Amino acid sequence: MAAATAAACSKGCSKRWREAVSGPAPIVCDTCPVADRAVCSALSPDDRGELTRIGHHRRYARGETIVAAGDSATVCATLTRGAAKMSTIDRDGTERIVALVHPAGMLGQLFAPTATLHVTALTDSEACLFPASHVAALSDTRPALARRLLAEVSRELDESRALIDLISKRQAKGRVAALILAFARAASPAPCHDAESFDLPLTRGEMAQLLGITIETVSRTLTALEDAGVIVRQGSHGIAILDRTALDDLAES
């Protein structure tokens, strides 16, 4: 039953992904919030212009599937706004988050023949989509793009290692603190400083799943951090960092 459900889901997700590629929304680089950080920033204006002509822009609602495991990897996509998670889903339907994607990050697996991970929008998000074959061909003839793609893969590997370290070495409070700091870095439009206030892209349950702790522990830890004046929660998803030094110290515990 689970396998049949997964197959039906994959088929539906594949259809949505194909529809995203053929969507009518044009790409407008002049207003792109990650134009100076995305992989395509390594290209010349002419090459970027060619990509905008053959690519499309797509919006995704919170919780919407962007890529489904098993889909043919025919598209290369860059997240321009929002946040996404990359996860595996086993036969029992249990999801395990293996990576988070923030603006300027790549969605999917460019050089794989088929996707092995599910990619889901954590918030209302936007992405630019390009034919993967065209991007791969460009990387063969544009050394700057090839280097930028390699740098992106290296960055993703570093983040995966940091995620493993976060889960395996810290106390529960330290794990939550480190994850908040990671969200603060991702929420900032500038690499030189972190955002002081932002929306948490993960639910309490998703945070617990990612960190390997219970939902109750996540809730208690957030309450304790707020009671200690380290953070303050704003609405259902918002959070502001009040004491960065204390949060840094906890993240190292």
Kindly report, residue by residue over 92-127, the tens digit of the pLDDT.
877 888 888 888 998 877 777 888 888 999 888 999
* C-alpha count within 13 angstroms, C-beta hemisphere, residue 178: 20
Angle at 155 between CA 151 and CA 158, to 5 degrees: 140
- Residue 150 has a pLDDT of 87
Predicted TM-score (pTM) of this structure:
0.73
Q: Where are the alpha helices (DSSP H) in 142-191?
A: 143-169, 172-187
Residue 2 has pLDDT above 50, yes or no: no
Rounded Cα distance between 124 and 83, Å, is: 8
